[in-house]
Amino acid sequence: MIKTASVTLIGLILYGILILPFTTYLHNKPFVEKLGYVPSVPAFKTIAADQKELVAASLVLKVLIYFGGLVEKSESQLAIPPDYMSMSRLLHGAVKLDPYNMDAYYFAQSFLTWDVKQYKLANDLLDYGMKYRTWDWCLPFFAGFNSAFFLKDYAAAAGYYQRAGELSGSDLSKLLAGRYMQESGQTELAIGYLSAMVKGEHNPALKKNYQIRLTAFQEAHRIEVARDHYRESRGAIPAMIGQLVSGGFLSPPPRDPYGGEFYLEGDGKVATTSKYAFAKVKNKSLKNAGDVNERH
């Protein structure tokens, strides 16, 4: 009895010694490792058996938690480049398992366009989703925005918005379709789109991500308005944003939430050195993470 109790006690002590470094190791494990390896979709379908919807949901949640962790780190001034390729692969796998999973389309739309600039890939995914979610106005709404804002394909945008309008039963999308037919006012349209996304978003990480981008576009829009006033007043486009501030057209000075500097291009277009993304931190561990990314 005493011997058994002693062995149990030793076991508990060993567990107590081990559990802290074990937890620390798992907590600090690189994100790329956490996202892990995902087998091919046919293999997944076989393993998932009758739990395909559950497996798809778990893949989406895995990506979301991974991304949420990165957003937290970016708040603490440690911007780690996300492994977008793995994220995209997981979400594409998820919709192959459950083509109705809205979270996958929604999340893919959020980063494939703004961050990865894979507009066609995003629209292909949305087109795939539209074949299944035939009642959902969000997918053509997203595709319409991508077509107009990123791809400058206004005819396609009008078609998508027409469909979104029919599905939603409101004239909002049809009105947007009309606006997207015009190339002008892109920043305003982006603000409108992002405002709608921020309003409808419940996930804190994504909401913050959209909010930061919205703030950046609102700042860019402020500069555009000041630039137009300057042009009306002085008859020429300003060469620098400093001219707008010193001339009293722009107050307070614009601030890029991504940490960059706004500037005016030759044709007066507002741009920023951050390219609407957080600067990447260069260190050894991140270099390794990047190496892993390249291998995928």
Binds other proteins by CB under 8 A, chosen from 7, 12, 18, 54: 54
Per-residue binding string, other proteins, 16-45, x by CB under 8 A, is: --------------------------x--x
Residue for token digits 């920043």? Answer: 187
E-strand ranges in 101-221 read none
Whether 124 and 144 have beta carbons less than 8 Å apart is answered as no
Torsion angle of the four alpha carbons 204, 252, 273, 182, in this order, in degrees rounded to the nearest 10: 80
- CB nearer to other proteins: give 64 or 71: 64
- Minimum distance from residue 209 beta carbon to other proteins (Å): 12
The pattern of x and - marking residues 134 through 173 that bind other proteins according to CB under 8 A reads -xx-x-----------------------------------
Q: State which amino acid sits at residue 135.
A: W
Residue 200 has which token pair?
């409808």
Give exposure, 98-110, as e/b (b: 16+ Cβ within 10 Å).
bbebebbbbbbbb
Q: How far is the CB of 191 from other proteins (least distance, A)?
A: 21
Number of Cβ within a 10 Å radius of residue 178: 12
Closest Cα partner for 288 from 132, 83, 4, 62?
A: 83
Closest approach, Cβ 203 to other proteins, in A, equals 5
Output 65 or 239, the one with its CB closest to other proteins: 65
**Residue closest to 244 by CA, chosen among 222, 231, 227:** 227
Among 88, 90, 91, 107, the residue binding other proteins under the rule CB under 8 A is 107
Q: CB under 8 A: which stretch of 31-39, 83-91, 96-104, 210-218 binds other proteins?
A: 96-104
**If you count DSSP H runs as helices and E runs as strands, how many of each does the chain have, helices first?**
14, 2
Which is closer to other proteins, CB of 203 or CB of 215? 203
β-bridge mates for residue 263, sequence order: 271
Applying CB under 8 A, the span of 26-34, 133-141, 210-218, 236-244 interacting with other proteins comes to 133-141
- Is residue 219 involved in binding other proteins (CB under 8 A)? no
The DSSP symbol for 152 reads: -
Nearer to other proteins, 107 or 193 (CB): 107
The least distance separating other proteins from the CB of residue 120, rounded to whole angstroms, comes to: 23
131 binds other proteins (CB under 8 A): no
Compute the CA torsion angle 275, 116, 195, 77 (nearest 10 deg).
-60
Question: Is 53 a residue that touches other proteins (CB under 8 A)?
Answer: yes
Q: How near is the Cβ of 54 to other proteins at its closest, in Å?
A: 4
Q: Which is nearer to other proteins, 165 or 254 (CB)?
A: 165
Segments in 31-118 forming alpha helices (H): 31-35, 41-48, 52-75, 84-97, 102-112
Told to check if 57 binds other proteins by CB under 8 A, we report yes
User: Which residue type does 208 have?
Assistant: K
User: Is residue 64 a contact point for other proteins (CB under 8 A)?
Assistant: yes
Give residues in contact with other proteins (CB under 8 A).
Answer: 42, 45-46, 49-54, 57, 60-61, 64-65, 98, 100-103, 106-107, 133, 135-136, 138, 201-203, 206
